[in-house]
Amino acid sequence: MKGMSLIVKTITNVMIGFIFIYGVYIILHGHLTPGGGFAGGVIIAGALVLRVLAYGSEAGAEKRSETRASIFESIGALLFVGIAIAGLMLAGVFFRNFLPKGVPLNLLSGGIIPFCNIAISFKVGAGLFSIFLSLAAVKYVMKD
C-alpha cells in the first residue's frame, strides 16, 4: 500500500476540508483580524502537503501537480500586479484604492485589501506547495 496507514488516511480525509476552510477564513478576514493572504496561503499549502504525505505520490503525478501549482502561482502574482495596475488605470496611481471603502469592521470593507489578500494567498499557497514538491522530487533524481 502506498502512502501511510489507513488510520492516517482516514483522519486526513476528515481533517483536510476543515484545514482548507480555516485557511479560506483566515484569508477572507485578513483585513479585520490577524492573518491574511500569507498566513492563509500557508495553511492551504499545509492541507495540500498533508494530502501528499498521507497518500504518497509518484514521480509523474508530482510533476503534473507541480506544473499546476506553478500556473496557480503565476495567476496569483498576475492578479496582484493586475490590482496594482487597475489602480493605475482607474484611480491614476499605482496601487491606489479604486473600490468603495465600505463600513469599518465589516467583511466588505478595506477597498482593494481583501482582493490583494486573495491574490497573495494564491501565490503563497501554490508557491509553498511547489517548493515542497520540488524538494520532495529530489528523491527521484537521486535514484538515477
Residue closer to other proteins, measured from CB, 22 or 97: 97
CB 9 → other proteins: shortest distance, Å?
28
Residue closer to other proteins, measured from CB, 47 or 124: 124
Which residue, among 121, 111, 107, has the nearest Cα to 22 in the 3D structure?
A: 121
CB 7 → other proteins: shortest distance, Å?
30
Q: Which neighbouring-strand residues pair with 102?
A: 109
Estimate to the nearest angstrom the gap between the alpha carbon of 25 and the chain centroid: 12
Element (H, E) at 75: helix 59-90
By CB under 8 A, name the binding residues for other proteins.
33-34, 38, 67, 70-71, 73-75, 77-78, 81, 84-85, 87-88, 91-97, 104-105, 128, 131, 134-135, 138, 141-142
Residue closer to other proteins, measured from CB, 12 or 124: 124
CB 104 → other proteins: shortest distance, Å?
6
Let me know the angle formed at the C-alpha of 7 by 4 and 12, rounded to the nearest 5 degrees: 80
Residue closer to other proteins, measured from CB, 8 or 65: 65
CB 62 → other proteins: shortest distance, Å?
15
Q: Half-sphere exposure of residue 83, counting CA atoms within 13 Å on the CB side?
A: 19
CB 49 → other proteins: shortest distance, Å?
13
d(CA 109, CA 105): 7
Residue closer to other proteins, measured from CB, 27 or 128: 128
Asked whether 30 and 116 are in contact (CB, 8 A), the reply is: no
